[in-house]
């Protein structure tokens, strides 16, 4: 077994450690803010609830995820596309890391100084300090450089292996980074063309409807940027960890391409209750949104097919006998598996949210907060946690000990219990009308709002349990850095023997990117022309 390249290991580890530092700080902000909302804590006068909420959202949703994803993708790209990163790819990775880190530090300082309590969606015409927008731009540009590194490594590999099918991990990494490049164009235009000149005072007014549309053009594929790396773990890594095979290489690639096509031209389903967008285009994007259900169903089928085939090969009997032979006591399987399981209600909730006029029932209620705490903060987060138990040992030349494995299982259970309480209460009280992103209030003891209080207390208790989960995973990461020396294999699954060869059209990037761009132009051109023609603009405000 060839050990993981040491230089690449440093780059991967730097990303992972930054990610978990962000998780810790974001977790502290989250726990405090959950207690305030539940009415169990009053903050000292110099710390504002919405400041903490901004820090929590930015650090968890943007920083933790992006750093972890880039670290994970670089590890797999290094391992499967040549065994080590080419010098140019590694350099791009470090430059990206540097830019993102400068951006993160500036951003966090500006937020904690109270100059940017605009939440991680920074809706205009709330006007944050220009440095907040500059910080975000640096993070995005840094992540682009890292993306170029992945593309470069892939292209060089393809040139050196003419006519050969690329490794699945490398292919999926390219799709993920391609999705990210196309999606971030929207937010880059919003920040650079609209918000930075406006926040410096070079222009007086901003087109609000346009800025929100550019944000959500980015905001929805952002969630798929979180999800696709988790899917890479489910499709490529998990089969190897459990001793099984990948159900179908071709269908795995097809599902990733469908995610690329249908996760971008769909941002209007976040803007269903807004003025300025015609109902025809809202519904069109709702239909396109629902197309991602197809690759999601394919993924679910593949996962359970892998599990069942493995169980049957081990002699499991009966309809569900194969469940018993899965390695439940292995955290590298257990944590991502809980993520998969929770993705079933999480995905169903997402379908509810995007249901056009029915969105009125849940829009901007705590239901939505409950929803994405299941998707990104459970399905994605637990999968990422499950990855560190083999990735850190693999890149540092160490081994996972049984004690750490046990603590990992405990961490997973703590996370699930905390999330059940917190997200369950959020979903319920959201249906009762409780708004999201709102500090503690009973609306002058209005009877409807008073009924929400027990749920908000349960949310705070769930939040405290989740914070214990954050501390546990940070402890586990630190222990992994001091684990005994040894060799840990980088687990890459192989396709099942019966699987047929993968058709080559799945690797025709020009064709797929062309379809993606055509769909985006179809879904956005007319509404955007409409928004540009109605140039009602607004001055900026600082309301915090």
Among residue numbers 276 through 305, which ones bind another protein (CB under 8 A)?
276-279, 282-283, 286-287, 290, 293-294, 297-298, 301, 305
Only one of the segments 80-88, 378-386, 420-428, 447-455 lies at the binding site for another protein (rule: CB under 8 A); that segment is 447-455
Q: Does 503 bind another protein (CB under 8 A)?
A: yes
Half-sphere exposure of 419 (CA within 13 A, CB side): 27
Which one, 253 or 407, has the nearer CB to another protein?
253
One of 94, 95, 148, 440 touching another protein (CB under 8 A): 440
For another protein, the closer CB: 440 or 509:
440
End-to-end CA distance of the chain: 57
Q: Find the binding residues for another protein in span 189-208 (CB under 8 A).
A: 208
The window from 96-104, 324-332, 371-379, 431-439 that contacts another protein (CB under 8 A) reads 431-439
Under the binding rule (CB under 8 A), the answer on residue 457 touching another protein is no
**Closest CB 211 distance from another protein, rounded Å:** 10
Q: What binding mask, one character per residue, do residues 355-384 give for another protein by CB under 8 A, x or -?
A: xxxxxxx-xxx-------------------
Phi, psi of 341 (to 5 degrees): -60, -45
Report in angstroms how near the CB of residue 372 gets to another protein at its nearest.
15
CA distance 299 to 302: 5
Q: What's the helix, strand, coil split of the chain in %, to 5?
A: 70, 0, 25
Q: Does 436 bind another protein (CB under 8 A)?
A: yes
| 119 touches another protein (CB under 8 A) | yes
Segment 301 to 330, residues that bind another protein, using CB under 8 A: 301, 305
The residue among 485 and 500 lying less far from another protein, judged by its C-beta, is 500
**432 burial class (0-12, 13-18, 19+ CB within 10 angstroms)?**
middle
Q: Considering beta carbons, is residue 416 or 434 the nearer one to another protein?
A: 434
Phi then psi dihedrals of residue 485, to 5 deg: -65, 150
Residue 224 appears among annotated catalytic residues: yes
Question: Out of 74, 132, 171, 224, which one is annotated catalytic?
Answer: 224
Q: Kindly tell me the number of DSSP H helices and DSSP E strands found in the chain.
A: 19, 2
Which residue of the set 220, 270, 332, 363 is catalytic? 220
Residues 61-100 within binding reach of another protein (CB under 8 A): none
Q: How far apart are CA 515 and CA 52, in angstroms?
A: 41
436 is catalytic: yes
Q: What gap in Å lies between CA 104 and CA 448, rounded to an integer?
A: 40
CB 5 → another protein: shortest distance, Å? 35
Q: Cα(436)–Cα(366) distance, rounded to whole angstroms?
A: 4
As to burial, measured by CB atoms within 10 angstroms (0-12 exposed, 13-18 middle, 19+ buried), residue 319 is exposed
CB of 400 to another protein, least distance (A): 34
Task: Quickly list H helices, 397-508.
Answer: 402-431, 447-450, 453-481
CA 401 to chain centre: 29
Cα separation, 210 vs 538, whole angstroms: 11
| Of 3-11, 83-91, 427-435, 511-519: span binding another protein (CB under 8 A) | 427-435
**How many residues belong to the site for another protein (CB under 8 A)?**
72
Angle (CA) 12-13-14 rounded to 5° is 90
Provide the CA 264 distance to its chain's centre, in angstroms: 15
Contact set for another protein, span 213-252 (CB under 8 A):
248, 250-251
Catalytic residue, candidates 152, 290, 436, 440: 436
φ, ψ dihedrals at 205, nearest 5°: -130, 160
Q: Does residue 403 touch another protein according to CB under 8 A?
A: no
Q: Which residues are catalytic?
A: 220, 224, 371-373, 436-437
């Amino acid at each position: 077994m060839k050990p993981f390249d040491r230089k690449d290991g440093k780059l991967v580890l730097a990303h992972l450690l930054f990610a978990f530092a962000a998780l810790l700080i974001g977790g502290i902000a989250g726990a405090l803010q959950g207690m305030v909302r539940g009415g169990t804590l009053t903050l000292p006068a110099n710390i504002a609830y919405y400041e903490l909420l901004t820090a929590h959202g930015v650090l968890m949703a943007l920083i933790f995820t992006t750093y972890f994803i880039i670290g994970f993708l670089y590890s797999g790209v290094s391992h499967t596309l040549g065994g080590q990163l080419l010098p140019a790819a590694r350099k791009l990775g470090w430059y990206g890391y540097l830019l993102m880190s400068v951006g993160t530090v500036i951003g966090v300082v500006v937020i904690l100084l109270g100059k940017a309590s605009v939440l991680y969606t920074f809706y205009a015409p709330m006007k944050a300090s220009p440095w907040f927008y500059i910080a975000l731009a640096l993070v995005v540009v840094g992540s682009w450089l890292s993306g170029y590194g992945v593309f470069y490594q892939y292209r060089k590999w393809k040139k050196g292996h003419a006519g050969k099918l690329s490794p699945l991990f490398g292919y999926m990494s390219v799709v993920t980074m391609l999705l990210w490049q196309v999606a971030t164009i929207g937010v880059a235009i919003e920040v650079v063309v609209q918000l930075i000149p406006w926040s410096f005072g070079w222009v007086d007014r901003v087109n609000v409807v346009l800025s929100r549309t550019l944000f959500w053009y980015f905001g929805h594929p952002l969630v798929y940027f979180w999800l696709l790396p988790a899917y890479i773990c489910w499709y490529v890594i998990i089969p190897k960890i459990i001793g099984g095979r990948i159900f179908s290489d071709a269908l795995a690639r097809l599902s990733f391409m469908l995610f690329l096509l249908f996760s971008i031209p769909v941002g209007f389903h976040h803007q269903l209750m807004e003025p300025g967008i015609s109902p025809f285009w809202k519904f069109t994007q709702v239909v396109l949104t629902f197309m991602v259900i197809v690759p999601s169903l394919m993924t679910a089928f593949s996962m359970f097919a892998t599990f069942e085939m493995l169980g049957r090969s081990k002699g499991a009997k009966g309809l569900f006998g194969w469940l018993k032979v899965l390695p439940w006591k292995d955290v590298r399987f257990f944590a991502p598996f809980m993520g998969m399981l929770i993705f079933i209600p999480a995905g169903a909730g997402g379908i509810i949210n995007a249901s056009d006029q029915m969105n009125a029932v849940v829009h901007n209620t705590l239901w939505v907060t409950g929803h994405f705490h299941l998707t990104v903060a459970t399905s994605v987060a637990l999968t990422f946690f499950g990855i560190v138990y083999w990735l850190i040992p693999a890149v540092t030349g160490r081994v996972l000990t049984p004690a750490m494995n046990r603590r990992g299982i405990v961490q997973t259970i703590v996370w699930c219990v905390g999330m059940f309480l917190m997200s369950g209460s959020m979903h319920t009280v959201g249906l009762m009308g409780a708004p999201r992103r709102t500090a503690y209030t009973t609306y002058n003891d209005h009877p409807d709002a008073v009924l929400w209080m027990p749920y908000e207390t349960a949310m705070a208790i769930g939040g405290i349990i989740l914070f214990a989960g954050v501390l546990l995973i940070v402890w586990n990461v630190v222990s992994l850095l001091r684990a005994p020396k040894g060799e840990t294999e980088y687990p890459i699954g192989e396709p099942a023997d019966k699987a047929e060869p993968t058709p080559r059209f799945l690797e025709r990037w020009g064709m797929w990117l062309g379809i993606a761009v055509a769909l985006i132009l179809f879904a956005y051109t007319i509404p955007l022309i409409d928004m540009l023609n109605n140039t009602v603009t607004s001055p900026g405000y600082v309301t915090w």
